Amino acid sequence: LKAEIHYDKLREKLGSVTEGKNDFARNLNLSAARNAIKNKKNDRAVEYYKQALLYDGRDLKVAEEIAGVFAGLEKFDDALELCEKILLSDPQNLEVMTLKTNLLVRLKKYTEAQETIEKISHDESNLKFRQLSADIDAWSGNYDNAIEKYQKLILQFPEDRDLWSQLIHVLSWAKKWPLLLETAQMGKDKIEMNDDTRALLVNAHLSVGEQEKAIEIWKTISRESATWRASALMIVDKFLSQRKLAAAADILGKIVSGSKPAPEAHLLAKLAILYTYREMPGKGFEILNQFSVSPQSEPIFEAAKAEILSLTGRYDDALSIIHTLEGDKEIGLRLHMLELECFYALEKDGMLLEKSSALLQKLSRGEMADKAKILTLRILSQIRIGQYEEARTEIELLSKSNEKDPGPAILTALLLAAERQLEAHEKAKQVLGMVLSGLTAEIEMVRPQLLDAVPLSSWKIADDVAMHHNQEVCTQRAKAEYKAGNYQQSLTLYTELEKEKKDPIYKLGMVECFLGMNNQEEANNIFHQIPLPGLPEKETARYCEALVTLEKGKEELSVGLSLFPEDISQKTSTKAIVAIANVQSGDRAIADGIVKQYLSDQPGNLALFQTILERVGYFDRGRQSQNYEFAKEWLRQAVEQFPADSGLRYQYAKLLATHNDYDMACEQFLALQENDPTDVRCIRWLAQVNSWRHEYDESLRWYDAYIR
């Protein structure tokens, strides 16, 4: 401070600036500027430097110093102006040329920066400028040029570690993953293997489908490093895209447990939802409830609860949470998408179309995937309520978003079927078959559930076009044949698939086909050949259902479950199958105990209650069996205990209707319709059930109401 005061007094004594003042004034201002920089008084420093230039702007050394300081202070335009003045007098000043180039890069004027570099006399041994030229190409997104320049430099300077490191980074920016891995192997003795480099290798291995190698490298990254968490999340997203939910949950769980001082609300919410996709909604609620809630985390946790409730069929509960969160900036588009999904499930098509129209207008070009999801829901709703022309227009829009997605072709077939255009529908099914012939598990669909709507004839065409070499298509056709009751055809397909690839899923399909043909002996024989270690987690429910269908006792089921990971017991499908096994073994009390614990108004309990009974009630495919009677009795109790809960009553009514208890079903649907006259689901069911009861006048009355 004393020095600054001293400089200011001296500057005042000098008076105004005039041409030709001696060096003392210039040096005084330079000293004052340097002192100001030292004391981090940048604005004063700039003022002093500009005064120094007024005394003698021809001193290139001073100008060079000042240009460098201006650049450091991010006064790029001032610095660039000085560089231009210096280069007019000294066009080959390499230091200033370099500074000018870097300034142009900072200003994102990449073309001018490259032109500046090219003015420097070419010298093959000048590594600094050749590397800077490669850097500029990389920063400007001209990756191919940058990679070629780096490769040439590495050939000439193979021991330069910086070149190897920069090439690895540019290859990652260019997403040239195979070349990155090849380069990393070639330069393994030259590339510094720090956590940043390991993170790049994790990304590369994930991108070429080598998840195991990615995980091995990730394990060597320090947990304290920021890249450890980022790489772990990349692994989680990769597993999610492949539907490997258990592996994704395992990695995400490690991130959450390693978060200090407390896990992020977003990560906890993601983990809770992930457990729900694994059929463990109870675990999801447990995760959300075990941490204290802050004003910042509350909307995030509430949104996660809404999603869990939606995934378990509690759509009204999900909507009630969503509507309390409307306007919260932390939630964003995901919450709106969830609301639309609930509207679609509840057949509130008018509300879906109204809200989605406003939402579409807000989406940017960068949100094409979300736009496609919204369009798909709109089209399905439009087909359902007879807005065929609108649906046709939006299918055309959707088809432009992803050419590989068979969704638009499926929707076109559904539209023509709804319009009863028989000839056009047949052609559409043929076109759909052609489109599906190239289907692979890697193709990302906007709505994978649409595959369930593909007619068997289209899968046959797809399989023929693919000449029976596409395993994904063959598998889908086998499922469709089984669904249509063509058990022998399905068995033939599964048998051929199993010969080509020893996948336990195919043997499980064979077991189901033999059970469909009432061939217990052969089904039992194949069942014992299923290699459990290779069975995906999502197929464990099918395996256990087959075990129970083969009339194995609850002891055999207990042994079978012990062969899977311990947390399988938390799956709602497992709880349902254990209940089924006990019902069939005559141990009704144990089955009652499994269900009874969830018949309460505690958050999430009814979601588990309904999910378990859904599987129990439909286990015997519409027959009035012990399992049906068990589910029927518990749902009746639930409706009596919670008479205002429309979700419970609707599930009860639907179960009754699909098991020929028409009078009781009508009674429940009428109660629902009286409570909400706009619920078109109940109106449609009343029309259908009265038709099954041969009450045709009543049925027509409800059909008329439904059409209106």
- For residue 65, pLDDT over 70 is answered with no
User: Given pLDDT bands bounded at 50, 70 and 90, which one contains residue 333?
Assistant: confident
Give the span between the Cα atoms of 74 and 43, in whole angstroms.
12
In the predicted model, is pLDDT for residue 1 greater than 60? no
Which has the minimum average pLDDT: 59-63, 152-156, 507-511? 59-63
Q: What is the pLDDT of residue 673?
A: 95
Mean predicted confidence (pLDDT) in 559-570: 84
**Domain assignment present for 286:** no
In-domain check, residue 687: yes
Whether the upstream peptide bond of residue 261 has omega within 30° of 0, thus cis, is yes
Residue 26 in domain: no
Q: What pLDDT score was predicted for residue 327?
A: 63
Half-sphere exposure (CA, 13 Å, Cβ side) for 557? 26
Taking residue 431's Cβ as centre, other Cβ atoms within 10 Å add up to 15
139, 143, 147, 149 alpha-carbon torsion, rounded to 10°: -60
Residue 175 has pLDDT above 70, yes or no: yes
Q: What percent of the chain has pLDDT over 70?
A: 84
Between 22 and 685, where is the model more confident? 685
CATH number, residue 648: 1.25.40.10
pLDDT at 29 over 70: no
Q: Band of the pLDDT at 74, cuts 50, 70, 90?
A: low
Residue 151 CB contacts under 8 Å (≥ 6 apart), including other chains: 167
Count the Cβ atoms, other than its own, within 10 Å of residue 501: 9
Residue 49 forms part of a structural domain? no
Q: How far apart are CA 63 and CA 496, in angstroms?
A: 80
- Residue-range definition of the domain harbouring residue 649: 643-708
Instruction: Pick 394 or 227 by higher pLDDT.
Output: 394
Q: What is the pLDDT of residue 16?
A: 47
pLDDT digits (tens, 9 = 90+) for 250-277: 888 887 876 665 667 888 889 999 999 9
pLDDT, mean of residues 498-517? 94
Mean pLDDT of the chain: 85
The answer as to whether 683 is a domain residue is: yes
With 50 as the cut, is the pLDDT of residue 95 above it? yes
- 104-148 pLDDT, tens digit each: 777 677 777 777 777 765 565 577 777 878 888 888 888 898 899
Residue 251 lies in a domain: no
Model confidence band, residue 565 (pLDDT cutoffs 50, 70, 90): confident
Helix (H, G, I), strand (E, B) or coil at 630: helix
Q: What is the pLDDT of residue 19?
A: 46
**Which range among 96-105, 156-165, 272-281, 589-598 shows the weakest confidence by mean pLDDT?**
96-105
Give pTM, 2 decimals: 0.76
Tokens representing residue 296 in the block: 């910042």
Max mean pLDDT among 272-276, 474-478, 583-587 falls in 474-478
560: pLDDT strictly greater than 70: yes
Q: Give yes or no for residue 708 having a pLDDT over 80.
A: no
Q: Does residue 649 lie in a domain region?
A: yes
> Residue 311: is its pLDDT beyond 80?
yes
Q: Does 323 score more than 50 pLDDT?
A: yes
pLDDT above 60 for 405: yes
Count of structural domains, the chain: 1
354/86: higher pLDDT = 354
Confidence of residue 246 (pLDDT cuts 50, 70, 90): confident
DSSP alpha helix (H) spans, 174-280? 177-186, 195-207, 211-218, 226-241, 245-257, 265-277
Nearest to 100 by CA among 55, 125, 50, 136: 136
Q: Is the pLDDT of residue 445 over 70?
A: yes
Contact 583, 289 (CB under 8 A): no
For the cut 60, the answer to whether the pLDDT of residue 4 exceeds it is no
pLDDT at 188: 84
pLDDT of 82 strictly over 60: yes
Cα Rg for the chain, rounded, in angstroms?
Answer: 35
* DSSP classification of residue 142: -
pLDDT given for residue 18 in this prediction: 46
- Selection from 189, 187, 155, 183 nearest residue 170 by Cα: 183
Mean pLDDT throughout 203-224?
88
Q: Classify burial at 326, counting beta carbons within 10 Å of its beta carbon; exposed 0-12, middle 13-18, buried 19 or more.
A: exposed
In one-letter notation, the amino acid at residue 318 is A
What is the tens place of the pLDDT at every residue in 599-617?
998 878 999 999 999 999 9
Asked whether residue 42 is domain-assigned, the answer is: no
Sign of CA dihedral 223, 229, 230, 233: positive
Instruction: Identify the band that residue 536 occupies on the pLDDT scale cut at 50, 70 and 90.
Output: confident
When pLDDT is cut at 50, 70 and 90, the band that residue 223 belongs to is confident
Rounded average pLDDT over 74-78: 67
User: What is the percent of the chain where pLDDT is above 90?
Assistant: 51
Confidence of residue 3 (pLDDT cuts 50, 70, 90): very low
pLDDT at residue 83 greater than cutoff 80: no
For residue 387, give the 3-state DSSP assignment: coil
